A and B are shown apart, each in its own frame.
Chain A
Amino acid sequence: MRTSRATALAAMAAVTGLVLTACGEDSGGSTDGGSAAGPDGPVTMVVPFSAGGGSDLSGRAMASGLEEVTDSTVTVENITGGSGAVGYGQLLASAGDPSTLLASETSLVTLPIIQDVPYTYDQFTPIMKAGEDYNLVIAGGDSEWETCTDMVEAARDESLTAAVSGTTGPDAIAWTLIEQEESVELQRVPFESTAEVTAALLGDQVQVAAASPGEVIGQLESGDVKALCALAPERYEYEELADIPTGGEQGLDVTFAQWRGLVAAPELDEESTRFWVDAAEEWTTTDSYTEYIESNYLQPQTLFGEDFAEYLVQYDADARSALQP
């Protein structure tokens, strides 16, 4: 622990170091056996949210996974502020630096759509989409509805209360897509987090909500919450989730994925990009990757480098249509 933290500081020194020094080091050549373009010295994994949250957990999983496959030290730094924007700003400032990575997710694309931040998703170098997460439409355990169809039908007659965790989160986007598809209107009640949304469902304060399976699996298993449908193209394979029908099966043609992944600094040269893409690809074949995916109930739908970049373009278009109707 101690040594890796001491080196974390050295990493900071390297990242923010004088341009001259940095250039000097670059010409020094790599210490990593396989690839010539790997970073010299320790690597920083920026997590733009505070420690302990979902982004932090996935950042730490990726950091230790990459540490394993590249033999370099990857230290997690939680740089918070600006709903994530400050952390992305830090990455923006280390353009061209192969030793700074960022544990990214959906808000990379959505925040610049809603807020005036000094970056857009396409400025960064996409490395890996590690996994996807589809929202489940959930209701209280004693709800009268069994399927999403029931819920949509009810929404035609009365104004339903739907909890959202933040006004621009993936669940809010999912509701917008449902509203557009089914021409209904829901009364949204904004909460701070999925945990609060779940509490509100359990206490019958609201009628429906949408959440990632990993965040409500405990309540699903106990029956305090029931899943009406999964807003996914196909059913989950996890045993606990396999019984949940997709929206498509019920005639609700809405899917919206939340992704988690890895981006690197802007203007990264081809070699370094290749290095990280290879490393990431290698990580996805290890046990530590499988464990990360399974403990968070993610879908192991991976994309790398250019493919990931193309995915983001489409994702941006989808998010824009939901967030700027």
Chain B
Amino acid sequence: MLDNLALGVATAVSPENLLWCFIGVALGTVIGMLPGLGSATGVALLLPVTLALEPVTALIMLAGIYYGCQYGASISSILISTPGDSSSVVLTLDGYQMARNGRAGAALAVSALSSFIAAIITIVGLMLLAAPIADLALRFGPPETLAVILLGLSTIVSFAGDNLLRGITMAAVGLLLSTVGIASGFTDARFTFGSLNLLSGLDFIAVLIGLFAIGEVLHQIHRGGEAPIRARFKDLVITRDDVRRMIPASLRGTGLGFALGVLPGAGATLATFMSYGLEGRVGKHRAELGTGAVEGVAAPEASNNAAANASFIPTLSLGIPGSGTTAVLLGAFVVFGLQPGPLLFEQQPALVWGLLVSFVIGNFMLLVLNLPLAPVFAQALRVPYSYLYPFILFISLLGAFAIGNNTFSLWVAFTAGVLGYFMKRFDFPAAPLVLGLVLGPLLERSLVQTSALGRGDLMIIFERPISAAFTVAAILAILAPVVLAAVRRRRAPGRARQSTPTA
């Protein structure tokens, strides 16, 4: 173990590898900031550039792009409510509110710090426990995945605003929209109405660019816009109190993200929603969630990064990608003539450990880059909205196109933008819809698989201990607040509506 670590350090700190690591994280930050261009696209686009490099150097750079993107995506979510990827949607809730409250700099700093905390903890976990965790993850079959997704969907409770039923309905709408196109389990093309473009479904990134970025711009115009933020410098920097509130939330987020990120395909998005939901249950300042609470930034951000790192566990120890981006990275392994698989740790110790050590270095670089830059980025909000919003629209639509180089995505984003505007204006929460849209394909696939494994009997979900436990938890999570609310309403009939903020 220590030998390997020493080997890894020796590999990672060579001047060339340090340089490319830096280039990777810096490029990743920029790519992450652009709407529509997530880490998977970023890695794929820059893969050809790295062909001339040593394999380990190239992989260090590509991985740098991956986690650099996580940092970058947070920046645009916080500043202009434009999530670059579905895993930074949750950040638009409290992060954007913090920015609107004049605390953009602090929000960015909290996001960078909690990302860093999560990254360091999970990298250590990755180094120590990769093999046993990977084996554990394999025990998660379709019924377990189905149960975890149900539990994830139950976190809608935290995003539904003051009308729980409407929140759940919006999640159902998201699930319904996710069924458009050909699903992997069937041959039917559903709800495509003869459209070729709809065969592969609605791209959820295009939808969320529309719902969040474009919808928010139009909603701002409707409301009369925000005054440009003239924050005092002391509001731009993170305070001792912020740090105190941030740490427990980041630790909870890290744990949840790490656990969910290991599951092949379950992913970072689920982790961010669930960790936000968790803060709504156990956080000390849960009443402030939605109004710009530090915890609402720290927890999802930590879980996002933790999940990204955890997705390397099945990737490196089994040769099975844990996320879309690690799938592209595995492709890069093959291009470099490396054989990903269970033997990688044994056959390529310098590469694997060099890569792992470079994660630490890269995250440190990102922290050093992001902390001092946070107040600087926050200055972007001083640009009068009259100039800022045309740029947001411009960049959002370009990003929507770049998802698949398909003009159809432009129309998806535009339509979702119109829809998002009306949803915001009339208080139909968008976050549950995104959750449904993202989880829909996974939910359906695990339903089909579970049904196939049970020869038509879905109740096998209760026959396996892990899936039974998660399913029961999901049912409780949905029912408990409903029952509690009913009880409370009966006690205080006049105060049926609470001022819970909306997504």
Q: How near does chain A come to B198, taking the closest CB pair, in angstroms?
A: 8
Q: Which residues of B contact A166 (CB under 8 A)?
A: 184
Taking a contact as CB atoms closer than 8 A, the residue among A81, A165, A193 that contacts B199 in the complex is: A81
Contact code string B325-350 (vs A, CB < 8 Å = 1, else 0): 00110111011010111111000000
User: A167 touching B43 by the CB < 8 A rule?
Assistant: no
Interface SS of chain A: helix, strand, loop or mixed? mixed
Contact A190 B185 (CB under 8 A): yes
Interface string of B43-57 (1 = CB under 8 A from A): 111011100000000
Task: Please determine whether B445 and A52 come into contact, CB atoms closer than 8 angstroms.
Answer: no
A195 B264 Cβ-Cβ under 8 A: yes
Residue A114 CB within 8 A of the other chain = yes
Q: Does A233 contact B (CB under 8 A)?
A: no
Which chain A residues border B330 with CB–CB below 8 Å?
A: 195
The reply to whether B264 and A56 form a contact with Cβ atoms under 8 Å apart is no
Taking CB atoms, residues of chain B closer than 8 Å to A78 are 44, 404-405
Near A by CB (< 8 A), chain B positions 352-373 give: none
**Which A residue sits closest to B203, measured CB to CB?**
A81
Question: In angstroms, how far is the closest chain A Cβ from the Cβ of B23?
Answer: 13
B101 contacts chain A at the CB level, 8 A cutoff: no
Known: A51-B47, A86-B196, A196-B265. A191 touches B455 (CB 8 A): no
Residues from chain A with a CB closer than 8 A to the CB of B340 are 218
CA distance A80 to B264 in the complex (A): 23
Kindly specify which of B70-78, B162-170, B186-194, B218-226 makes contact with the partner chain: B186-194
B176 at the interface (CB under 8 A from A): no
Contacts of A196 in B (CB 8 A): 264-265, 320
Chain A nearest Cβ from B191, distance in angstroms? 14
Question: Is B200 a contact of A198 with CB atoms below 8 Å?
Answer: no
In the complex, chain B residues whose CB is within 8 Å of the CB of A165: 184
Binds B, one of A17-25, A115-123, A246-254, A261-269: A115-123
| A188 proximity list for chain B (CB < 8 A) | 452
Contact of B445 among A86, A190, A222 (CB under 8 A): A190
Binding site for B on A (CB under 8 A): 1, 50-54, 56-57, 60, 77-83, 85-86, 89, 114-118, 159, 161, 165-168, 187-193, 195-196, 198-200, 202-203, 205-206, 214, 217-219, 221-222, 224, 295-296
Extra inter-chain contacts (20) besides given A81-B408, A165-B184, A189-B449, CB under 8 Å: A1-B49, A51-B45, A52-B327, A53-B331, A60-B48, A81-B200, A81-B404, A82-B198, A86-B197, A117-B199, A159-B455, A161-B452, A161-B453, A190-B452, A198-B318, A198-B320, A217-B341, A218-B319, A221-B341, A295-B337
A to B CB contacts below 8 Å, 9 in the list: A50-B41, A52-B44, A77-B405, A114-B187, A190-B185, A190-B452, A195-B320, A200-B142, A219-B341
State the B residues within 8 Å of A (CB).
40-41, 43-45, 47-49, 137-142, 181-182, 184-187, 189, 194, 196-200, 264-265, 314, 318-321, 327-328, 330-332, 334-335, 337, 339-344, 404-406, 408, 441, 445, 448-449, 452-453, 455
